[in-house]
Amino acid sequence: MNKFLRSLVLVALVSPSVAFAGGIVTNANQSAAYIRMLARDASTSIDAVYFNPAGVTKLNNGFHISITNQSIFQKKTIENKYPFLNEAKYVGDVAAPLFPSIHAVYKKDKWALGFSFHPNGGGGTAQYDTGLPSFETQIATIPTMLSSQGINTTTYSADIAFDGSSVFWGTQLNASYAINDMISVAAGVRMIYAANNYNGHIKSIMINPNMTGHPLFPLMNSYKGEIVPASQFGVDLGNAIRTAYGTTTANAGDTLAASTQNMLVDAKQTGMGWTPIIGANLTFGEKLNVGLRYEFKTKLEMENNTKTDNTGMFPDGAKFNNDIPAILSVGINYSILPELRASLGWHHYFDKNANWEGKEEFISNNLYELALGLEYDINQTLLISAGVLRSQTGVGQGYQTDLSHSLTSTSVGFGGGIRLTEKSMLNLGMLYSQYTSGSKDIDYTLGGSTVTYKETYNRTNIVFAIGFDYSF
């Protein structure tokens, strides 16, 4: 039991809880304007600090600040066709009611200094109140195993729960310079502080063994099909085997007792890394603007700080690699009419080049995204916008697990902005993401033979955002 639980949770170590847009360990949703439009890679507004660092040179001289909060709610659904499970469908809820981002810029003539503080990855808590298929399949085999030995067992139950939270906080500083009216460049660095928290248990494993008619029944005549703790039954079975056969060695009963003990985890992991960033902004006349951004790979090493762990999966002080992949972003903004603007965005995440303790070997193609956004000024006070984003994953079946899976998705965002004053603006947005179902064929060993069953993954996501921009 320890082996399977250890392998399951280790895959979660490189999988922050919230990621609906961006690479596997990268959040792209860093402003309310993004939520309502989904294409900000050529932005010359305050959120360009993150999306297009060189673009902040287009701001007026002075100090500018943008504050955003998002409330993110995600539902994950996993279905497993393994016939011995009590449940065929498992639902996990992910919630991040507070998802803040802060961007600030000081602009003086050709120079601009930018600051950003944001959740670069994760930011939510995933709750699996009834466990996961990979947890339960190990327990589900107990009745079949015992019945094959002449101990009629028809049901099982267990208290299974797992909570995981993760946030990669990013603190970013940029310097931008306008070479001329057409070309601006930028360079910066982001410090990443990562923290993962895991709390889980598998306990109170119960079975209904019936020893009636079994040769060991005289020694175990209290077991007649009632629900009992599996670990205690294992202890009694082990002792009965030794008594009946005059042996002192460990046996199948001892193995059952050991593998069905309560398992508890309470662990935290932390790490720090640095992300160099470069960018350029190209302006062609009054209608066309192009933004370029490249983020280098962040080498990130995490370390365990473990309070409780009788599974062996979180050795206190152990370290592992959890890199953030490099990113290339290209954006185009074009004014179709004075009041109507269209934006395009393309993002390439170099997931295959990250170090995830070997898990990157299961990535067939790097993830990429295409975004299209439209923004329309109703009048001098109000504007509306909408956008669509397509995220295409490139992971193979070997990457996918019920605890950590990457899915292709289509997101639609809409909202608007209210110019409260000449120097202040309120942004409101809503986003919905629909994911394309993914699946994996899993081999199970039953009675000495291998049987394959399919596991299917699905997900939906909804986000509400509010942001306030102010210029001094």
At residue 218, the pLDDT reads 94
- Structural domains of the chain, count: 1
Closest among 93, 104, 36, 38 to 67, alpha carbons compared = 104
- Exposure string of 383-405, with b = 16+ CB inside 10 Å and e = fewer, is bebbbbbebebbbeeebbbbbbb
Closest among 75, 70, 96 to 464, alpha carbons compared = 70
Residue ranges of the chain with pLDDT lower than 70? 1-25, 446-447
| 3-state secondary structure at position 355 | coil
At residue 61, the pLDDT reads 97
Q: What is the pTM of this model?
A: 0.86
**Interhelix angle 133-148/2-12, nearest 10 degrees:** 170
At residue 23, the pLDDT reads 60
At residue 3, the pLDDT reads 45
Classify burial at 337, counting beta carbons within 10 Å of its beta carbon; exposed 0-12, middle 13-18, buried 19 or more. exposed
Q: Which CATH number belongs to the domain containing residue 113 in this structure? A: 2.40.160.60
Q: Which two tokens stand for residue 276?
A: 């160099």
Q: How far apart are CA 178 and CA 186, in angstroms?
A: 9
At residue 85, the pLDDT reads 84
pLDDT, tens digit, for every residue of 367-417?
999 999 999 999 999 999 999 999 998 888 878 877 778 888 999 999 999
Q: How far apart are CA 252 and CA 242, in angstroms?
A: 11
| 3-state secondary structure at position 148 | helix
Q: How far apart are CA 338 and CA 335, in angstroms?
A: 6
Domain that holds residue 120: 2-471
At residue 410, the pLDDT reads 94
Cβ-based neighbour number of residue 194 at 10 Å: 25
Classify burial at 341, counting beta carbons within 10 Å of its beta carbon; exposed 0-12, middle 13-18, buried 19 or more. buried
The Cβ-side half-sphere exposure at 172, using a 13 Å CA radius, reads 33
Reading phi first (left if > 0) and then psi (alpha if -120 to 50, else beta), residue 100 is in beta
